[in-house]
A and B are shown apart, each in its own frame.
Chain A
Amino acid sequence: MSLRTVLDGPNTRGTSDRFWAAFGLAVVALLGYPLVASTYAVANAALFLLYAILGLSLCVIWGYCGILSFGQVAFFGIGGYTFGIVGINLSTTTGTALGLLTGVGVATLFAFVLGYFMFYGGVRDVYVTIMTLVVALVVHTFMGQTAGSEWAIGEAALGGFDGMTNIPNLMLGGIELIDTAFYYVVLLVLLGTYLGLRALVNSDFGRAMVAVREDEERTELLGYDTKRIKLLVFTLGGALAGLSGVLYASWGNYMNPAVFGITFAALPVVWVSVGGRDSLLGAIGATYAIEWFSQQLSITGSEYALVVVGGLLLVTILWLPKGVAPAVADWLSEKQSSPSIRGHEEVAD
């Protein structure tokens, strides 16, 4: 199959027929989920799936290009807020579509400017990590004090610490995307993102990305413009995070500055390192599994919920330094001496 030659390659683990069969089954299961589950469960699953896009945005820049951004949530939040501003002012089908485009656009532009500033300024490694975190925190501080009426854009008040309310739902062909319809849109976007990223990382450009991750100086000596590669990948990551943020704003009809805070900023890093940073599917599975699990713990109301979440992180990093998905893949390939499926957490609910 010609499609397989685009999607398979050395930079993704699942490449066997067996993998693709299992993948197909998982997709069918996810497509069928709304038929058997309650509206609540579907809407809830949509949230985890849209978080997974945020997870993927970090996975591609960190896992495949070696740039750990601790500030993906900044692009997520900017995307969501921009969608809110446009959507509140023009709450029509075209309005929300325009909101989607500007939301992703502004997040992308922001990532591009920040990336240019950093990579062409020689900021590297852990300094990139902390710089991105500081940027998120600056936005957090700024957005927290936008409560007054002077901070309104048209009809849309930024709302300070209390956040922006009345954000409309995304609309498509005159239909408001809520509950099941929203779930399907998120699922398709996630699927498209995943397959697109697979194609990207297995392309020539993808190989150059991985080369930058492995040894930036050597890659540069081989004649690649590593700054440009990093900037492009970082910008792509920003765009995906922005897309995820737009979906988030439409999901809850609400944005607030907590999305720029350190607690939320840590989440994508956690998802990706637990899933396995060079495994796209691992990131998706881990995002879903971790979010679902910590939600369940908070539902129990147990005071040990955060202890368990924190403890699990610690243990995973100590025992499975490469993450769950690579470990599962290794285990399977040892067992069957052929690489196969991994990360089936996403069909567990």
Chain B
Amino acid sequence: MNNLFSTGRSSTRRAFLAAGATGITATAGCTGSARQDADVVRIGVLEDRSGGFALNGTSKWQTSVLAIEELNEAGGILGKEIELFDPDPQSDNQRYQELTRRLIQREEVDALWAGYSSAARETIRPLINQYEQLYFYTTQYEGGVCDSTIFPVGATARQQLGAVVPHLIEEYGPRIYTIAADYNFGQISGDWVRILAEENGAEVIGEEFIPLDVSQFGSTINRIQEADPDFVMSMLVGQNHTSFYNQRASAGLDIPIGSSTTMAQGYEHRRLNPPALADMYVGVNYMEEVDTEASNAFVERFYDRWPDAPYLNQEAQNNYFSIHMYAEAAERAGTTDQEAVIEELEKGVEIEAPEGTIELDGDTHHMNHHMRIGHADSNHDLSFGNEQYIGAGFLQEVGCSLPDDPETTQYLPAEVYDL
């Protein structure tokens, strides 16, 4: 299918027509709108298809299109066709603000999916709060967002690390060295590693936070060798940091690595030459290699629709199930009115996702996920083990209960735990 102008409407014919009309003059000309038209459900999807995060964002966009096409084929939501608005934010935070404003104010979307990075989420949060926009953030993230109109449905650091850290302590020993990206996500993830280490009688013997634009890791590797830990926890983020794994292999650093960020998002096990990721353990709620009936069927549908796609990542699965989950909630509410849909979601929804059957926790707006440990061997062949069903425990601990107590906060582990 011609991917030049990616509109993602349901029928190919319409997509073709729309592609013709998406020219600059067309968009410039029509300042009036079709908002009165209540016969459609309007969904906004902002996922990066160019710029630095395109590697992760493209398949999120692709599964969103797939989910919407499936829903439309089955008669839409409440019998109405779903119309998709999907500009490309180009991995640019300023662009995110402009486009979110457009989708909220001008297109008046009924629900919004947006952003790969936490920074993108924070960029648009003032607008989300101001307009009380129903918003799904689907990336795995540091956790703690407790916000009345936001549904962060990806796995949190607590869920992912909670799956992988105790397992590695048991398997390899109690001395942990943490390397993480030097920003909010990495620092909070580092805090979680320390909390989990303490809970499991282990110890973080070294910690290094690395700026996102660093791509040379010689000294980091030296320091790890000097500390000689039982295993390394890596929460490195982005393409510069991915270089670490190649450099680690060529320097002969063969200490096992645990992670919450590799493989499931940027499919490093496919891109890097083995044995760069030998003995890598990652906590995930989904990867396309997960071998269940639901997952295999999903993978097949995905590649039928996008035969050229390189990978179907964890976040793409999250977009997919959350769009279906939204449809389910709207059907039950009998309307796409955002407040009513949120109320319906808060009653708790169970959904059959490709990762398994999972529930939304109405109090915290987070999902209970099937967390697995994915392990890459020296040929980058994957195996999965230790499946656990883990909820958003941290937010329950801090007493986030959005239906009774609306707020727009992000809780940090440092506020609760003694670090």
Contacts and interface: CB of A to CB of B under 8 A. Distances in A.
Direct touching of A and B (C-beta under 8 Å): yes
Interface stretch (B98-106, B222-230, B259-267, B371-379): B98-106
Given A254-B123, A306-B50, A298 B99 contact: yes
A51 to B, nearest CB: 10
A149 B414 contact: yes
B394 to A, nearest CB: 17
Interface stretch (B2-10, B69-77, B160-168, B248-256): B2-10
A304 B183 CA distance: 31
A43 B126 contact: no
Interface residues of B, number: 49
Interface stretch (B23-31, B280-288, B308-316, B329-337): B23-31
A145 B4 contact: no
B87 A299 contact: yes
B125 interface: yes
B187 interface: yes
A316 interface: no
Interface stretch (A22-30, A98-106, A159-167, A280-288): A159-167
Contacts of B86: 301
Nearest to B106: A40
A39 B31 CA distance: 11
Interface in A294-349: 295-306, 349
Interface string A78-112: 00000000000000000000000000000000000
A218 B127 CA distance: 54
B97 interface: yes
Contact of A297 (B6, B24, B130): B24
Contacts of B12: none
A219 interface: no
A5 interface: no
Would you call the interface of chain A mostly helix, strand, loop, or mixed?
A: helix
Contacts of B4: 302-304
Counting chain A residues whose Cβ lies within 8 A of the other chain, the interface size class is 35 or more
A305 B212 CA distance: 26
Interface string B90-123: 1011110111011001100000000000110011
Given A141-B211, A293-B24, A302-B4, A263 B31 contact: no
Contact of A299 (B50, B102, B125): B102
Most buried by B among A38, A162, A166, A293: A162
Contacts of B27: 296, 299-300
B349 interface: no
B402 interface: no
B230 to A, nearest CB: 27
Nearest to A164: B122
A268 to B, nearest CB: 13
B9 to A, nearest CB: 12
A233 to B, nearest CB: 27
Interface in A247-288: 252-254, 256, 258-259, 263-264
Contacts of A300: 5, 22-24, 27, 87
A302 B49 CA distance: 9
B213 A256 contact: no
A301 B7 contact: yes
Most buried by B among A44, A161, A166, A254: A161
Contacts, number: 132
Nearest to A40: B105
Given A147-B187, A162-B119, A298-B90, A38 B6 contact: no
A121 interface: no
Contact of B212 (A161, A167, A263, A303): A161
B78 interface: no
A39 B105 contact: yes
Contact of B183 (A38, A162, A165, A295): A162
Given A38-B31, A44-B102, A161 B119 contact: yes
B93 A256 contact: yes
Given A38-B106, A44-B98, A254-B126, A160 B213 contact: no
A9 interface: no
Given A141-B213, A162-B118, A147 B184 contact: yes
B88 interface: yes
Interface in B61-88: 86-88
A31 interface: no
Most buried by B among A37, A252, A258, A293: A252
B412 interface: yes
Contacts of B90: 298, 305-306
Nearest to A140: B213
Interface in B30-46: 31, 33
A285 B266 CA distance: 41
B154 interface: no
A166 B92 contact: no
B126 A253 contact: yes
27 contacts: A38-B31, A39-B105, A43-B101, A44-B98, A44-B102, A141-B211, A147-B183, A159-B122, A160-B184, A162-B119, A163-B119, A163-B122, A254-B123, A256-B119, A295-B98, A296-B28, A298-B88, A298-B95, A299-B87, A299-B99, A300-B23, A300-B87, A302-B6, A303-B4, A303-B50, A304-B4, A306-B90
Interface of A: 37-41, 43-44, 47, 141, 144-145, 147-149, 159-163, 165-167, 252-254, 256, 258-259, 263-264, 293, 295-306, 349
Given A162-B119, A258-B92, A293-B24, 17 more contacts: A37-B31, A40-B102, A40-B105, A144-B212, A162-B183, A163-B122, A252-B127, A296-B24, A299-B27, A299-B99, A300-B24, A300-B87, A302-B88, A303-B3, A303-B6, A304-B4, A305-B90
The 5 nearest A-B residue pairs measured at CB: A161-B183, A40-B105, A253-B126, A40-B106, A147-B184
